[in-house]
Structure 1
């Protein structure tokens, strides 16, 4: 049975400032909401004590609405933009708080800001700043993670890492965060921090000191439960698998993705070279074996991790790659939006136009040429009209021969993803279809949400 993987660009958006983080809302009722954060370093005329110019880091938070029914216009509509300090990380709480989605933001001002999504029943939503908690002076907040990865709404907490090498655990009260504990965890920048979603008293952290560490809050932060030097450069991404207990993925500037069993952190289950520093890792929202990697200098990849998770000591094969960004691959996330199986509108119907802010800032005319020239794409025709995803599809590619039989026997998938890149300040929304050859044309694949 032949299997095929296909990626299709749905929309490209210019964020104007360097884009480094993108997050779909994980709560089903609001899965159409997408947030994107930017980071821009500007020179300042203000002088520091050493006589050098003080850095000025600015950012902008974008909010988008994704419309699955638009076939002849871009699916993404910008609904809001907020000027902020430079944004290093964004994470939605996985459960509603006071019946509303809550977005956490780590900033270059050393703050964790919380934004509440308002008017969720309307066509468009807005973010409203709920609170701001300062981690400490003279630091950048580099990452954050919520304890709610498996949908647990009890004792909601946030962990954040910062540029001083410290970790801070904060507890959510009445829509505000209170620091519970803070400690020095790494010698240099603590790039990443994450909860074990199966035991939220357990934390993981990674730093520029090349160390991956574990912490148990019940034992106090005086010493880590383990310290691993298995990565040879700075550890910058960690994600606990919300579907498979004990499984943790880590990534590093050393260009490797490691899979671990949390019960034995002396040796990883697998090591996969991905050809670029691994800035972000995201497990699929419903498929335990699929892992999305943002690989800085080497684009975005979807890894199949089943063999490694089952203890077969094998690298994770790449199922698909998205190569149409022209800069550092930083932000990446899976969407939970249900995909429409309806047929495209009749060609006699006039094409719809974008609504709201996207009329002036909307889709871009962009053509990419990859080394193989097989992924050239344009989101406008010669008349300037938007080309929907039903047309001009990239060529399909076969699945790797090394996939286990269980993968070849699994269901078809169709997923929407969002990725963003830094210096070219671009946000891409794209679709990935994974299906057996003989089923093509019979029916649309099941959505991944």
Structure 2
């Protein structure tokens, strides 16, 4: 277990949703608003029931070991996007927009000028973009939707009876026209979005391939790598794609964007330092000796820190058991100014499946060691906590919304950040 159990947190408010929540995120452009994505498996198509305890399962969709079940016929799923407003501790439901497919991931654009734009990926391998417009009577505005077949110009098309689910995605941190998407078939694809209104292109050659489901992906600017490759004028813009799969692998590929063409700038690498599927990846702002620091979560209930060099394999630095599968990680803040207690510090919100949510602190101590500790824990959820987020603009206290799947519970709670 991580050092210390941390303070037990009580909810301020809670409510039951109509459908199981799979993801939640506050809007960076309008911080009083947050959205919840839901995922529902239609009961007439569930077939034989099984005990599922991983994401994307939606009642009987997954086997207990984390592998997607392989039904004889495609499953029927739907979902919704639910908008809430949070002001002075008061939760208000704003709008519910039904969706024809179940939603597995929802994220707002991080880019200046488009932070009211959010994307969702679905159980039918669709990518959809929306705009949040609070001044409208119905603030959830659909922009465009495309599926994997259309985006790949027909080069990827599921065969009869085959299912491809989009499981997760990541916006490029500095390019508004690029994202990465993962699939239930273990592929990680790059998508080019020259506009928000369509004509999106998915490169049919995967940038990374896993042998089982690819659960998570993140694009990092990889500044350390770019600096070391800067001698070549043909290198172009360098970035790195990290992905985690049900094959227990953390994989990454360093890419170069040159004159509109993406190429592999370096060989791909993988890390075998996990005992189960890799479900979350969080790059940190801190870098040591030119290496990138990333934090991972896994079904094996551990949170881990790796140092990733510009060339070569990651080095495992620290780990702690959080008591539940670590499904999502979000950076709360970081401090790179040395103090008497640490060289640098990062604080992280972790969604820990059957264990609830955790506020985790990670430090490099003055003697050079790395240590995780739990500052706070929220354990009122009675089923899988797949989505948690905190309200932007906090000062001394976090306002956190966390959700749980089977009981369809949404909770509001606070945590003091001294």
TM-score range, shorter chain: 0.7 to 0.9
Q: Deviations over 1:85-143 (max 9, x none)?
A: 1111111111244x56111111001111111122x4x3876121112132253300000
Deviation at 1:224, TM superposition (A): 5.2
Deviation at 1:208, TM superposition (A): 0.8
Distance of 1:111 and 1:139 partners within structure 2: 10
Name 1:58's counterpart in structure 2.
78
Name 2:220's counterpart in structure 1.
196
Quick check: 1:251 aligned with 2:297?
A: yes
- Give 5+ residue unaligned stretches, structure 1: 340-412, 436-449
Distance of 1:268 and 1:13 partners within structure 2: 40
Q: Deviations over 1:232-251 (max 9, x none)?
A: 11111112224668221111
Partner SS, residue 325 of structure 1: coil
Distance of 1:60 and 1:432 partners within structure 2: 29
Q: TM-score, normalised by structure 1?
A: 0.70
For CA contacts below 8 A with separation 6 or more, give which structure has more relative contact order: 1
- Number of residue pairs matched by the alignment: 342
In the TM superposition, 1:155-170 aligns within 5 A as: 155-170=176-191
Distance of 1:252 and 1:170 partners within structure 2: 26
Equivalent of 1:272 in 305, 320, 323: 320
Q: TM-score, normalised by structure 2?
A: 0.74
Partner SS, residue 364 of structure 2: helix
Distance of 2:325 and 2:314 partners within structure 1: 22
Distance of 1:22 and 1:214 partners within structure 2: 26
Between Structure 1 and Structure 2, which shows a larger proportion of strand residues? 2
Distance of 2:267 and 2:399 partners within structure 1: 38
Distance of 1:213 and 1:269 partners within structure 2: 17
Deviation at 1:14, TM superposition (A): 1.4
Native 8 Å contact 1:215 1:224 kept in 2: yes
Distance of 1:301 and 1:278 partners within structure 2: 10
Name 1:23's counterpart in structure 2.
25
Name 1:312's counterpart in structure 2.
368
Distance of 2:367 and 2:221 partners within structure 1: 21
In the TM superposition, 1:105-254 aligns within 5 A as: 105-118=120-133, 120=134, 122=135, 126-135=139-148, 136=156, 137=158, 138-148=163-173, 152=174, 154-175=175-196, 176=198, 177-180=200-203, 182-183=205-206, 185-199=209-223, 201-218=239-256, 220=263, 225-242=268-285, 246-254=292-300
Native 8 Å contact 2:255 2:265 kept in 1: no
Distance of 1:243 and 1:322 partners within structure 2: 27
Native 8 Å contact 1:307 1:316 kept in 2: no
Distance of 2:21 and 2:83 partners within structure 1: 13
Partner SS, residue 94 of structure 1: coil
- Runs of 4+ with >4 A deviation: 50-53, 197-200, 221-224, 242-245, 285-288
Native 8 Å contact 1:139 1:162 kept in 2: yes
- Give 5+ residue unaligned stretches, structure 2: 1-5, 48-69, 149-155, 224-237, 257-261, 336-344
Of 262-271 and 203-212, deviating more is: 262-271
Q: Provide closer, same or farther for how the CA distance between residues 216 and 133 of structure 1 changes in structure 2, counting only shifts above 3 A.
A: farther
Equivalent of 1:103 in 96, 118, 122: 118
Q: Provide closer, same or farther for how the CA distance between residues 185 and 322 of structure 1 changes in structure 2, counting only shifts above 3 A.
A: same
Native 8 Å contact 1:21 1:88 kept in 2: yes
Deviation at 1:187, TM superposition (A): 0.7
Native 8 Å contact 2:111 2:176 kept in 1: no
Q: Provide closer, same or farther for how the CA distance between residues 334 and 51 of structure 1 changes in structure 2, counting only shifts above 3 A.
A: closer
Of 200-209 and 132-141, deviating more is: 132-141
Distance of 1:129 and 1:286 partners within structure 2: 35
Q: Deviations over 1:195-216 (max 9, x none)?
A: 1145462110011111100111
Name 2:387's counterpart in structure 1.
331
Q: Provide closer, same or farther for how the CA distance between residues 313 and 181 of structure 1 changes in structure 2, counting only shifts above 3 A.
A: farther
Q: Provide closer, same or farther for how the CA distance between residues 223 and 41 of structure 1 changes in structure 2, counting only shifts above 3 A.
A: farther
